[in-house]
Chains A and B, each alone.
Chain A
Amino acid sequence: MDIFLQQVVNGLTLGSVYAIVALGYTMVYGIVQLINFAHGEVVMIGAMVALSVIGALAGAFPGVPAAVIVLSGTACAVVVCMAVGYTMERVAYRPLRGAPRLAPLITAIGISIILQHSALLVWSRNPLSFPQIVRNPVVILAGATISAVQIVIILVSVAMMAGLTALVYRTRLGVAMRATSENPTVAGLMGVNINRVIASTFVIGAALAAVAGVMVGTYYGIAHYTMGALLGLKAFSAAVLGGIGNLAGAMLGGILLGIVEALGAGYIGELTDLCRIAWISDGLTARCAVDHHFVLFGSNYQDVFAFLVLIAVLIFRPSGLLGERVGDRA
């Protein structure tokens, strides 16, 4: 039981990060029907920038409270990522609006290669450890260990989701975004500056990605130039799981995916332990008498779950759990 609770907590933490990244995918997809393939790399850039800034500040001002340092590191990451997001949209996607779908997808791949290898150039090939300047006390609750970082990650994610929802449904920019996603041409005729709306969507997504990068970096305590690709892929799966283009869907999808992944990693070894069914063959019984576990798939298959979920959703419910919201662009 305590494994279960522990994995649910871990899943919730990771799931909130997925949800925040998935929001970036889903917003962009909802408006321009484009998978921003390089979004995962923006997360990585965010983590890297924050790591460098936090490290430098902690070295330069040892007296300053840790929270201030972390916050300013995050702020720097957000600013850099917003700039990256804007440049990306301006240079690689805007000129290709209206081109066949393959074209922006390929520029997106190009951009992600460029971002990844620029990071490699700046931050080296080795995994960098996140400066541990914040104390990380743990609470033990019903057998599960919950760390302060986990609680902060979940709270910050919830706050950001609420903020984004307010932005989309309560502000002028939000109205313009929704109008553009429904029909860009008509929105343009109604006086919406489509280019600005699309650019701000990218910038907002990149800001979210930066925060997600800082969170995932502090959670694992490590940042690496390749960390973005897999994370991005999982977050995209989360967006599809919830229904692409649907903000609430991305949040739900992210959290569900995190929990599925954590529970899967926690239990797959036990579930595929052939010694549980040792009675089916004498050879297996003999082997299990010596070595009590004969595990087919261990927790190193953790990364497979996200893809299995993605494929299953696409087969059985392609529009996602909460339904997709994508304007028709015939």
Chain B
Amino acid sequence: MRYAADSLAHLRKHRSAVWISTGAVAFALVLLPFVLSSVGTAWVRITNLAILFAILSLGLNVVVGFAGLLDLGYIAFYGVGAYCYALLASPHFGLHLPFWIILPLGAGLACIFGILLGAPTLKLRGDYLAIVTLGFGEIVRIFLNNLSQPVNITNGPQGVTLIDPFKIDGLVFNRTDTLLGLTFTGPMKYYYLLLLLLIGVMLVNVRLQDSRLGRAWVAIREDELAAQAMGINTRNVKLLAFAMGASFGGIAGGMFSAMQGFISPESFVLTESINVLAMVVLGGMGNVWGVVAGALLLSFVPEVLRYIVAPVQEAVFGRVIIDPEIIRMLLFGLALVLMMLYRPAGLWPSRTRKREFDEALHE
């Protein structure tokens, strides 16, 4: 408590400094795509995907970080949102609904899936839940892969192509526009859109964390029995965590569809679920800033590795001996293990979470 009061006083004293630094960061974020596209448009796309994954990790953070329910099939909700957008805005069914109908619809559908998954499984112990969610993720993927027969719904492994881009009136997001003498390419426009969305999702997360609901989640995570005794309706509160996490996933999925213009079941495999989970774990479960940082880190490092590993091998051995992708995954697995052994609460842990881990280890 005293710490909070101190920091508040500290903040008041330096209010102008806070405003200035916030302004500087905002300015840098606005300029970033111009800098990146001078290096190469590919980097803007990579950044966009990184932001998308940050949104996704924030969604998973609600389930894993706040409520402490390990969900290994989270990518399924992303897939549901993505397919919802793709099927309703592509030549596949000849439907071209506007985004402001489909995105909420996708979020809602993902939410329903979340409840469908949550309702029967929430009584389970944490590790059972992990396996059931994993199985659920696989089921969704198998269906996406096979629902092309006898009635072609998902178009099977080929996926859905020619998905409509984002459109607001005349502003089409995959075209290049010129405004005030500046050229805005498609990926750059998506960058600003995703950035806004990320800020929105972060705000929701931060507010959730301090809300009555957020405290209920933490209470359940720490001790479910005690939480129940304090009058928390644990079933409903856990279901809410699942539903909210899932709807964030659904929105991110819709954005992914619109941005890529093409999706296939390949993008919604178990590895991706684990990838998102690793982002949450690496950054620090339950800490919004940590999770975002973890997502950005895990999105950029592999890309950088890709640019470094192959040339270095060529320089040293004369040819590429080890596929960069394998190195990436090996490092990834190693990072998960080492993190849990040496910094179990994450690189930027939330304070309560850190205490929890420390106590458990010193018992």
Contact = CB atoms under 8 A, between A and B. Distances in A.
Interface in B339-363: 339-341, 344, 356-357, 360-361, 363
A52 B109 CA distance: 47
Contacts of B357: 99-100, 103
Interface string A17-37: 000000000000000011100
Interface in B139-162: 139, 142-143, 145-146, 149-150
Contact of A111 (B277, B285, B333, B363): B333
Given A35-B131, A106-B336, A96 B150 contact: no
A187 to B, nearest CB: 18
B336 A117 contact: no
B135 A107 contact: no
A191 interface: no
Interface stretch (A3-11, A70-78, A176-184, A232-240): A232-240
A260 B350 CA distance: 46
A120 interface: yes
A99 B135 contact: no
Nearest to A114: B333
Interface string A112-131: 11101110110000000000
A110 B121 contact: no
A302 to B, nearest CB: 9
A304 interface: yes
A315 B274 contact: no
B335 interface: yes
Chain A residues touching B, majority SS: helix
Contact of A100 (B120, B130, B135, B360): B360
Interface string A179-204: 00000000000000000000000000
A95 interface: yes
A120 B326 contact: yes
Nearest to A274: B150
A154 interface: no
A97 to B, nearest CB: 10
Contacts of A105: 70, 126-127, 130
A327 interface: no
A179 B344 CA distance: 30
A295 interface: yes
Contact of B68 (A102, A114, A296): A102
Contacts of A300: 142, 145-146
A114 B131 contact: no
Interface centre among A110, A296, A306 (most CB of B within 10 A): A110
Contact of B330 (A35, A101, A114, A304): A114
Contact of A236 (B131, B274, B333, B360): B131
- A-B interface, 7 closest residue pairs, ranked by CB to CB distance from nearest: A110-B336, A113-B333, A307-B135, A114-B333, A110-B337, A117-B329, A110-B333
17 contacts: A98-B363, A106-B281, A107-B336, A107-B341, A110-B335, A111-B333, A113-B336, A114-B337, A117-B333, A300-B145, A301-B142, A301-B146, A303-B142, A307-B132, A314-B120, A314-B128, A318-B124
Interface of A: 33-35, 91-92, 95-96, 98-107, 109-114, 116-118, 120-121, 229-230, 233, 236-237, 240, 274, 294-298, 300-301, 303-304, 306-308, 310-311, 314-315, 318
